Amino acid sequence: MKKQRRSFSKEFKLQVIPEALKERLTLNELSQKYEVHPNQISAWKQDFLNKAEQVFSSPAPNAVDNESQTEQYEQGIVDGVILQKRHKNRAVLPNR
């Protein structure tokens, strides 16, 4: 009978990887603690480090949206202030 492969959740991997990065415990100690082969921990760690560059290489998808939303918000405030000033000026001027 064929043994089924284990799959690990993202949460589990994110629990193991930081400990592997700290290097306070050896890979063998970590593998015993989490019941995972040391090669698997090394692979997760390497994959994590390889993809870490991507986090800083491109702007976050929401960063561009947030910037444009901030600009629109600020422009709306400016437009609102201008409209209020125009409205006040009209109220002060007598009708001719």
Task: Please check whether residues 15 and 31 belong to one and the same domain.
Answer: yes
Task: Please check whether residues 43 and 13 belong to one and the same domain.
Answer: yes
Task: Please check whether residues 26 and 54 belong to one and the same domain.
Answer: yes
Q: What does the chain look like in DSSP terms, one character per residue?
A: -PPPPP---HHHHHHHHHHHHHTSS-HHHHHHHHT--HHHHHHHHHHHHHHHHHHHHS--HHHHHHHHHHHHHHHHHHHHHHHHHHHHHHHHSPP-
Q: Model confidence over 41-68: pLDDT tens digits?
A: 999 999 999 988 887 776 666 655 666 6
Residue 12 forms part of a structural domain = yes
Task: Please check whether residues 43 and 33 belong to one and the same domain.
Answer: yes
Q: Do 16 and 44 touch, CB atoms closer than 8 A?
A: yes
Task: Please check whether residues 47 and 12 belong to one and the same domain.
Answer: yes
Residue 17 forms part of a structural domain = yes
Task: Please check whether residues 65 and 49 belong to one and the same domain.
Answer: no
Residue 2 forms part of a structural domain = no
Tokens of 55: 């986090």
pLDDT in tens, the chain (96 residues): 788 888 999 999 999 999 999 999 999 999 999 999 999 999 999 999 998 888 777 666 665 566 666 676 666 665 665 555 555 555 555 555
Which one-letter amino acid corresponds to residue 43? Answer: A
